[in-house]
């Protein structure tokens, strides 16, 4: 049964979280799939690169990670001091950067036309 995130994450208790994501239906994330014989090893670097790019965008530090054949583990630390220093505009810009298919470099500001005027809780910037 699913639980709301507010009952699973408590930054007052700890900034560290162990997260796991796995494939379903015997799908392979990385390595050689025994059933199809296909090699998916190239995906391992994709996952590592994506973790690094998202960590640079958001106030999350990656403490450790392991990418396995059908799942991965990450140990994350939420940097609340950094996040609390961001303006609402910077939060929105970082959110948009995280949603884009090609991330902007982390050390450069994101240029967007989003001004918050049309924002709604379900569709930012629409």
Compute and round to an integer the Cα radius of gyration of the chain: 17
pTM value is 0.69
Q: Which helix (H) or strand (E) holds 63?
A: strand 60-67
Residue 15 near residue 26 (C-beta atoms within 8 A): no
Question: How much is the pLDDT for 55?
Answer: 94
Question: How much is the pLDDT for 122?
Answer: 39
pLDDT tens track of the chain, all 126 residues? 788 878 888 999 999 999 999 988 878 889 888 888 899 999 999 999 999 999 999 999 999 999 999 899 999 999 999 999 999 999 999 999 988 755 444 444 444 444 444 343 333 343
Question: How much is the pLDDT for 101?
Answer: 57
49: left (phi over 0), alpha (psi -120 to 50) or beta: alpha
């Amino acid at each position: 049964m699913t639980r709301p995130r507010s009952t699973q994450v408590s930054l007052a208790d700890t900034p560290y979280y162990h997260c796991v994501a796995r494939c379903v239906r015997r799908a392979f994330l990385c390595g050689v799939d025994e059933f199809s014989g296909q090699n998916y090893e190239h995906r391992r670097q994709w996952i590592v690169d994506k973790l690094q790019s998202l960590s640079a965008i958001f106030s999350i530090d990656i403490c450790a990670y392991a990418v396995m054949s059908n799942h991965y583990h990450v140990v994350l630390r939420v940097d609340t001091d950094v996040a609390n220093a961001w303006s609402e505009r910077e939060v929105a810009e970082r959110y948009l950067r995280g949603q884009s298919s090609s991330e902007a470099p982390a050390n450069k500001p994101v240029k967007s036309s989003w001004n918050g005027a049309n924002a709604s809780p379900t569709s930012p910037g629409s």
